[in-house]
Structure 1
Amino acid sequence: MIDILLRAASAIQQAINIVFHFLTVDYFRQIALLSASASPTMKRIIVLGGSYAGISTAHRILKQAAKIGPLKITLVSPNTDFYWSMASPRGVVPGQIADEKLFQPIAAGFSKYPAAQFEFTLAKAEKLDVEAKSVGISSGETLDYDYLIVATGSRTRAHTPFKALGSTEETRDALHDFQSEVKEAKTIVVAGAGVTGVEAAGELAYEYGREKKIILVGLNDPMTHSLMIRRVKCCFSMHPVNPSQIASGPTILEESPASVSNYALKALKNLKVTVKLDTKVMSSAQLPAGQKELTLSNGDTLTTDMYIPTFGLIPNSSYIPAPYLNTNGSVMVDEYLRVKGAKDVWAIGDVSDVESWQFITCDRQSAHLARNMISMMNNRPPLPYKVAASRMISVFIIRDGVLTDLVAGFMGLQIGKKAATGHFGSWRLPSFIVARARRTLFVENMGPTVDGSLF
């Protein structure tokens, strides 16, 4: 009898265990399903461009990933290495800056992030489909996105290594060829009187002023001049200005205050640079001996061993449909840096039409967009972008022929290794301060930029 009772108790216990198992398995399965449905969806962010704008924005977002839920950033770039183009006017001079101070691998800089959060894709953007929210790339893949950041920058019209030229190998080879040509040349003509032209002429003259003839042709190319006027043509002043003072005469650095232009002109002449004002290069022809013959707008001709055009930047926007571009090929953005007419797409840096193409504006746009992305992914409204950091000084721009009051800007440039100048608004900055700040052309910041420790 006792044996029967024990067997019955055991059977009842087994039955209870089986029922409990099925009940609890179903319960916890339901809990798991509810948890899965409540968990945030992984956000796919594609960043196009491996220059400063793209790299800095990717790092700034990734560093805040813990605050914004699951995300994955795919950085698409045709170049394996980041190129510190800010130092290119000195980098084109042989022996001045080693390659490792101009180029640094991009992927290694993001190695601290888990693969689930970051992926580097070596490819070129070829087709943007805004409706499908996808980007076709040169590897043949099509990448889908939830958010897209366009930061593909610009290139030089003359295909010179003052900007990245596509692949890292192409840029590095062009830089080395450029250096070899500089070394062999006895006469060098630099065309274009903007920042790049003045810096390049200054660096060449500082190194070779006593043994090579360096000529700066001072008036910018007419197409470039027109582009800058339509884009953002600045004149900085503490007081209202007369539109006729915007470009008051033949000079260099014509978008800067007269005091800055005059200082730069004097510094170039001290370095034995021959400056030809109020003229421009109309055409160039290759001579049988390997030299080039340049025809100037005043009818004169120049024979030179090397011709360096520094005017003309072209936005890298060929993959973007025409309705989103202005007549210059720049991406049209609104006050939030969003591409006009495109959902969940933003554009910053040289490829956008919002500001003049400068490092300082690129950095500000990157920081602002990263903050807005974090806010939006936390269901907070974005903030509008302000064109400049200071409201204390007026900036006057010509846009479609209308003089418009904005806020102050900043510019600094090096003229050789010892002289420098710059301005904040209409104030010319003390030369020794600019020279000290820019003496290395900030190459020491390349590593911290690529690995994100700068941000």
Structure 2
Amino acid sequence: MAENGSEEKKKRVVVIGGGIAGSLLCKTLHKHHHFDFTLIDSKEYFEITWAKLRAMVEPSFAKRTVIDHHEYLPGASIITSDAIGIDEQCQVSTAEGRQIAFDYLVIATGHLTNSHLTKTERLRQFEADYEKIKSSDTILIVGGGPSGVELAGEIVVDFPAKKVKLVHRGSRLLEFISETAGKKALDWLTARNVEVMLGQSVDLDSGSDGVYLTSSGETIVADCHFICTSEPIGSSWMKETILKYSLDDRGRLMVDKNLRVKGFANIFAIGDVTDVPELKQGYLAQKHALVVANNLKLLIRGEEGKMVKYYPATSALAIVSLGRREALAYILCVAMIGRIPGLIKSKDLFVGKTRRQLGLQA
């Protein structure tokens, strides 16, 4: 009888989104005897997204970075579907027609992705990207943020004979950090014959026979292109839910110091979907996940007054990989580039560390 009573007292936790924040939260709660948790994700796997650019030049690398949810959450309740609704009865509706009740809800939907691919299809996509790069003489990259710079670095290091052209609508590269850092990245790329065009956009629909038109009227000839611009926040579906008034004008969920969605005592949000005033980075999203995991445990014990507060990062910290051996690091407002920053990130891109956090072999 005692066991049955204990089971009845378990709190139902639903996590929407199995990205970098949602996956770590689920792993932290997995098999916790006070929780029954369900992960709802539009894809069947967790992907270490910052490693995808290496996987485009080395497809075998992706086998360590695309991880089936059941691999790190054995026996867990996982629903592969889009969440489409949240109602006043504390239920989440999914696109496949299910309704999942919760005592606590955590939203970790991050940014929109091509999330309806299966794991096998995603791995094949990396193979296709590799073949595209391998068979092309000239490659166009659209976007000069960290993804665009890192992809350019991966290509020129692994395929130094390729001609890479990078177009960015901003006035400098890596606008999320300092002008000095952007200049160092620009110098590194141009020294390796990457043609960087700033202050311009590209009409990709104009790419007939590999000829693309820029906003300034210039033409770019390339055999293929890759888009490395940021995706929209994954919150548009919430506009028709009870959270519609909790979204700010940029589509982010407004949260308090405990990462609870404003206006709701039992709904949390973590990662890029929140309005926390800091850079949207993977390691910060993981910090969100650990704060909310602690707060859920405190709420279970009736210790709401002891809930942990999250303090936004006050200074930017970033490491932008430049191929397999070098990187650009921006730490305490100082930009460094070369082998030393590369030792921190570029060889393994934190893949081993992330896998260990999920209880997997590095």
Fold shared by both chains (TM-score > 0.5):
yes
The answer to whether the aligner puts 1:280 opposite 2:196 as a matched pair is no
Alignment match, 2:219: 301
Query: Could you give the per-residue CA deviations for residues 287-340 of structure 1, whole angstroms, max 9, x where no partner exists?
Result: 1x4x2x322222212122212221122122233233232333322222221122
Structure 2 CA distance for partners of 1:165 and 1:326, relative to 1, 3 Å: farther
Alignment match, 1:137: 94
Mean Cα displacement is larger for which, 334-343 or 265-274? 334-343
What displacement does 1:440 show?
A: 1.3
Larger radius of gyration: 1
Structure 2: which amino acid aligns with 1:323?
Answer: Y
Structure 2: which amino acid aligns with 1:384?
Answer: K
What displacement does 1:96 show?
A: 5.2
CA distance in 1, matches of 2:198, 2:86: 43
Q: Residues 133-212 of structure 1: matches in 2 within 5 Å?
A: 133-155=90-112, 164=115, 167-210=118-161, 212=162
Alignment match, 2:167: 217
Alignment match, 2:353: 445
Alignment match, 2:83: 125
The answer to whether the aligner puts 1:72 opposite 2:36 as a matched pair is yes
Aligned to 2:358, the other structure's residue is in SS state helix
Query: Could you give the per-residue CA deviations for residues 96-154 of structure 1, whole angstroms, max 9, x where no partner exists?
Result: 5434222222113122xxx5xx422222212121x110001133210000000111221
What displacement does 1:372 show?
A: 1.4
Alignment match, 1:386: 311
CA distance in 1, matches of 2:296, 2:148: 37
1:420 to 309, 322, 327: 327
What displacement does 1:279 show?
A: 2.4
Structure 2 CA distance for partners of 1:91 and 1:99, relative to 1, 3 Å: closer
Alignment match, 1:24: none
Structure 2: which amino acid aligns with 1:336?
Answer: N
CA distance in 2, matches of 1:45, 1:51: 17
CA distance in 2, matches of 1:198, 1:418: 15
CA distance in 2, matches of 1:419, 1:353: 33
CA contact (8 A) 1:61 1:373 kept: no
2:18 to 20, 28, 50: 50
CA distance in 2, matches of 1:444, 1:425: 26
Alignment match, 1:324: 246
CA distance in 2, matches of 1:283, 1:100: 30
Alignment match, 1:109: 72
Structure 2: which amino acid aligns with 1:190?
Answer: I
Structure 2 CA distance for partners of 1:314 and 1:170, relative to 1, 3 Å: farther
Alignment match, 1:435: 342
Alignment match, 1:375: 298
Aligned to 1:428, the other structure's residue is in SS state strand
Structure 2 CA distance for partners of 1:121 and 1:386, relative to 1, 3 Å: same
What displacement does 1:446 show?
A: 4.4
CA distance in 1, matches of 2:195, 2:60: 25
CA distance in 2, matches of 1:311, 1:79: 21
CA distance in 2, matches of 1:103, 1:39: 33
1:336 to 249, 258, 261: 258
CA contact (8 A) 2:206 2:212 kept: yes
2:230 to 312, 315, 332: 312
CA contact (8 A) 2:320 2:327 kept: yes
What are structure 1's unaligned runs of at least 5 residues? 1-31, 221-249, 389-406
What is the total number of aligned residue pairs between the two structures?
354
The answer to whether the aligner puts 1:353 opposite 2:275 as a matched pair is yes
CA distance in 1, matches of 2:273, 2:117: 15
CA distance in 2, matches of 1:216, 1:450: 35
Structure 1: which amino acid aligns with 2:358?
Answer: V
What are structure 2's unaligned runs of at least 5 residues? none
CA contact (8 A) 1:421 1:435 kept: yes
What displacement does 1:349 show?
A: 1.1
CA distance in 1, matches of 2:90, 2:124: 36
CA distance in 2, matches of 1:139, 1:279: 42
CA contact (8 A) 1:128 1:136 kept: yes
Query: Could you give the per-residue CA deviations for residues 372-417 of structure 1, whole angstroms, max 9, x where no partner exists?
Result: 11122222222321001xxxxxxxxxxxxxxxxxx21210011122
CA contact (8 A) 1:281 1:297 kept: yes
CA contact (8 A) 1:267 1:419 kept: no
CA contact (8 A) 1:44 1:145 kept: yes
What displacement does 1:44 show?
A: 0.3
Computed over aligned residues only, the root mean square deviation of the Cα atoms, in angstroms, reads: 2.6
Q: Residues 220-239 of structure 1: matches in 2 within 5 Å?
A: 220=170
What displacement does 1:448 show?
A: 2.1
CA contact (8 A) 2:143 2:166 kept: yes
